[in-house]
Structure 1
Amino acid sequence: MIVKLIIALLLLGIVASLFSSAFFLVKDDSQRKRTLSLLKLRVALSVTLIIFVLVAYTAGWLVPHGPQP
């Protein structure tokens, strides 16, 4: 259950970073590079999510399931 919670939090962080980056891209007129820093954060969160899912799968914390015959 904790693994699914971590995955959900990482996905929520990625989506929040996406929308805040889009907001700063449209509305921000300053010379601060907030859009770029949020892009870096989104990429880091995505890489972290992929690595975490791979580790959780190989450790047996995540078990794939599908339709049972």
Structure 2
Amino acid sequence: MKYLVALAFLAIIGSLGSALFFMMRDGQDGKPKTSNMARALAFRVGFSILLFVCVLVAWKLGWIHPTGIPVGR
């Protein structure tokens, strides 16, 4: 599960980086803007939702357990 979460975070960061790249590159030299930046941001949203759903399913199946501050403190 740790590897899946780490891979999802890398995909989210990579998608943000590619969106930044397309944002800085598109529109220069009189070329029309493309939808690459929007597509990269849409993938980021999809990866984030997928990560949330995977963590929720893992919690429901008992693979991970919450470890917050105890109630008595």
TM category, shorter = 0.7 to 0.9
For residues 41-52 of structure 1, what are the structure 2 equivalents within 5 Å? 41-52=43-54
- Structure 1: how far apart are the matches of 2:68 and 2:48? 25
Give the number of aligned pairs: 67
Where relative contact order (Cα < 8 A, 6+ residues apart) is larger, the structure is: 1
Highest Rg: 1 or 2? Answer: 2
User: Does residue 4 of the first structure (1) align with residue 13 of the second (2)?
Assistant: no
Tell me which moved more, 24-33 or 43-52. Answer: 24-33
Query: TM-score, normalising length from structure 1?
Result: 0.84
Runs of at least 4 residues of structure 1 off by over 4 A? none
Amino acid paired to 2:22:
F
Structure 1, gaps ≥5 residues long: none
RMSD: 1.8
Query: TM-score, normalising length from structure 2?
Result: 0.80
Structure 2, gaps ≥5 residues long: none
Structure 1 equivalent of residue 42 of structure 2: 40
